[in-house]
Structure formats: structure tokens, C-alpha cells
Structure 1
């Protein structure tokens, strides 16, 4: 395995103990990885993966090899003490997409001295400051909002499902949104697909469930039941 993470659920909310000095703390800067990044249509990264100096340096070097137009998806994914303002600023300068949750936005308001802003104002501040194509704000069981550099926005309430556990929901949201945008779908289409996929993952045990050929359309079900 590349890592070991101990996950405990308290009232359905996961808490993580991420062991140190594991494989992804020692990612080497190799020709194989450079070739992979140069071919990629999207690259995803977060603060946690850069906690060791070795992997920190490797990832920042690899990001310089992305092809023009590639999505560079920064899922901030704040865990424990594995982050700093300087690191977040550095990664935002590399990113074209920035994803964070409402708790992380609360922390960043203080960190970047934008305390008196609303959620929308804070997201627009990051979008303008770092020339981001997309800013994705998730609110867990309540909502998610995506804004674009062209002024589009999409807000979708989180559909109610029978939650087994939420581990993996955020990553499935990110991956689904990225895939649908790369396929040329609209913001609203990609957003709905991401919400439905994350909702499905919440109904399954573990972060890597077996996916059906067709993800249930929880949003349409919720709209029809109003």
C-alpha cells in the first residue's frame, strides 16, 4: 500500500489519523512521472500530499510539465497540521480549479484577512486573486456552489440519502466534475453529475465502492418529491 489512514466515524463524521513516513511521502521526480503529467488532461493535488519536503518538491516540479489547457485541480483537503498559508498560496498560484468546504473557507478567511466577507464574496476574492477557472465550495449535507471565471454559477442543494459513510464522497465529486467538464458538458450538467455521484458514494461503505453503470439521479428524485 502507498499509505495507511485510520478512519473513525463519530456520528457519521469521519476523523482521520494519517500515518507519517509512508510511500507517498517519498515520491521521486522521474521521467516516467514527467511523461504522465505531460499527457494528462487533468492533475489533482492537495496540501496533505505535500507534507514531506521530498514529495513537496516533486509535485511542484511536475506541475510545471502540465500541457496547455490541462485542468490543475487543487482540492485543499486540510488535515491536522499538514498545511500553511505559504503552501496554500503556492498551490493556488499553480491551480485552475480550487475546491474547499465551508469549514476550510472559514479558516481561510482568517488566514487571508478577508474575515468580513460572505461565502460568495470570499470565493470571488480567491477567483480574482489567483485567476481561477472554477471555485467549488461544498457544504456537506446542505449544498455545493461552483463559480466560474466567466461569471457563471451553479448552486445545488445536497440530496437526502441514507448515509452509510461519507469517506470518499469529496474525491468522487471532484473526479466526476472534472471528467464531465473535460467531456465538454455545461457547468450545470457537470455539477449535477458530481452531486449525484457523491451522494451514491455516501450510501456505500468505504471510499472505493463498486459503481453501477448508471448512477441514480438523486437530484431528480428529490425534485419530484417536493
Structure 2
């Protein structure tokens, strides 16, 4: 295992996904931090919550889960993040509320020389964007950019800037099409689109997810596709992409062969689809998955 496992940073939003019948803790960066924690790592999570009931619940949950709250600051004037989620045919649709606590991440930042995970949503605001850039601009840490485009919460300039720092970039098939629109032919395949994107931003390692059709990895000399894994008791796909990223990062930390890592990540994502929401407090769920992942060849 590489030394930077002890310096694994995750930056971005933590919020509650509000479903029709319940609220579930989420936010892509937090989902990644939680999954990594359940997989046996010790990430430092950097975010902000409100001084309110939901914020207190988050801090208590993190502490009870073994996650450090040292870099999760508290905003006395803005609320803890909330997202309204509707699910149609298993696919989530998000209504993201503006000016939440995570839009104002401005607390102390840890030194970074290992691996940093970040996304796009928290960078929609000047304050959190400035903190993220401060974290990634002057560091030799490996940078993993998980695109996660959300309607009305991103612009091409921000995506281009964040991508330009990344060593590893992950996005889904639809996001790949959006970011290469007008550059690649409409019927361009994922490989040609992916390589155009890599050339645009100097990306050396690109991961593309295709939902039930699995995932792919592209580098200068590789193009690998994962196996597909059937989901027997499908609930929704909320958090599946975050679970995928978590296992890819785990593979980077453990120097796992990329083809094996890609298949493990696709499998883990399929297992998360059996949950409502992105995570569960049932530790046995993760213990069982860890055993299943350890059996991969």
C-alpha cells in the first residue's frame, strides 16, 4: 500500500438527499469518503455544514462512523445542504437548493501530498472554489476529479479549470457527450470522445461509467472495459457512481491492476444499487462486500 493512504483528502459537499418518504445523507464527495472509510481507509473530509439539526446529525454520524470531523466547519448563518431527489425508473433527478453551507467552505485546509478527490458542485460558488483551488494548485498530490455535472450548477470554464489539474478523471457516458459536444461527431464512440477529452485537458487516466453496461478505462496505451453485473433487487442508482470512484481510488492506493480494479468498482456500484440512497449504516453490508471484492481475480 502506498504511503499516501495516510493522507487521503476528499473535498466537497455534504448534504441530505430528500426523497418522497425520507431524507438520506449524501453528497458525492461525502459518499466517496464514507465508502472509503467502510473499505478500510481513513480519509480526511473537507466540507461545511449549518448550525442546525441536520448539521448536528451529520457531525454525530461522522463521529459514530469513525470519520474525522476536524475539517468540517460549521456555518452559523447558512443551512446544511439539501437536495430534492425524485426517482423515475430507478434513475435519480436532482433539484439542488442554492446558497447552502457547503457553498462556503473556507475553514482550515490540511497539507496535501497524497491523493485528493474533488468534484464540480462545490465549485459553483466563489468561496468553496477558491478553497479547492488553494488545495490543489500547489501540491504534488495525485488529483482525482469526479465530474458529476448537476443542472444549473456548473459551467464549462469551471470544468475545464478543474480538469486541467487532474491526474485521474471520472464521468458518465452522458457527461462525456456533453463535454465533447461540437468537438466530436454526434455518433462518435466513447473511445474517440474520451481521447479528445484527454487531449483537451492533459488527462492521463479516464474512467467512463455506462450504468448497467459497466465501465471503461482509457489511458495513453490502454482501453479496458469492465464486466457487467446484474442487479437482482434494484432500488435506485443514487450513489452508484460514487461507489465506483471509491473502489477505483482504493485500487490506486493499493496498486491494484487496473482491469481488476475496474471490475471491482463496477461490481461495488451494482451492489450499492440495492440500497435506497447512496449508503447505509449497516456495517455488515460493507463487510460482506469487502469479502466479495477480496475474492476478485
What is the TM-score normalised by the length of structure 1? 0.85
Counterpart residue number, 2:257: 186
CA contact (8 A) 1:45 1:75 kept: yes
Summarize deviations over 1:115-159 as a string: whole Å, max 9, x none: 35321011112223323231011111112101123x123202431
Are 2:218 and 1:147 equivalent residues in the alignment?
A: yes
Q: How many residues were matched structurally?
A: 211
CA contact (8 A) 1:26 1:55 kept: yes
CA contact (8 A) 2:226 2:259 kept: no
Please report how far the alpha carbon of residue 200 of structure 1 lies from its aligned counterpart in structure 2 after TM superposition. 0.9
Summarize deviations over 1:28-87 as a string: whole Å, max 9, x none: 0x4x3143xx15x22122221111111111111111243x2x321111111111111211
Q: Secondary structure at the match of 2:241?
A: helix
Q: Whole-Å Cα distance in 2 between the matches of residues 131 and 185 of structure 1? A: 23
Structure showing greater relative contact order (alpha-carbon pairs closer than 8 Å, 6 or more residues apart): 2
Please report how far the alpha carbon of residue 217 of structure 1 lies from its aligned counterpart in structure 2 after TM superposition. 4.8
Q: Secondary structure at the match of 1:213?
A: helix
Are 2:184 and 1:114 equivalent residues in the alignment?
A: yes
Considering only aligned residues, what root-mean-square deviation do their CA atoms show, in Å?
Answer: 2.1
Q: Secondary structure at the match of 1:103?
A: helix
Aligned with 1:92 (options 139, 158, 163): 163
Q: Which stretches in structure 1 are left out of the alignment for 5+ residues?
A: 222-226
1:95-174 → structure 2 map (5 Å cutoff): 95-110=166-181, 113-115=183-185, 117-149=188-220, 151-161=221-231, 162-174=233-245
Counterpart residue number, 2:286: 212
Q: Whole-Å Cα distance in 1 between the matches of residues 189 and 219 of structure 2? A: 17
Q: Secondary structure at the match of 2:109?
A: helix
Aligned with 1:51 (options 108, 113, 124): 124
Counterpart residue number, 1:11: 89
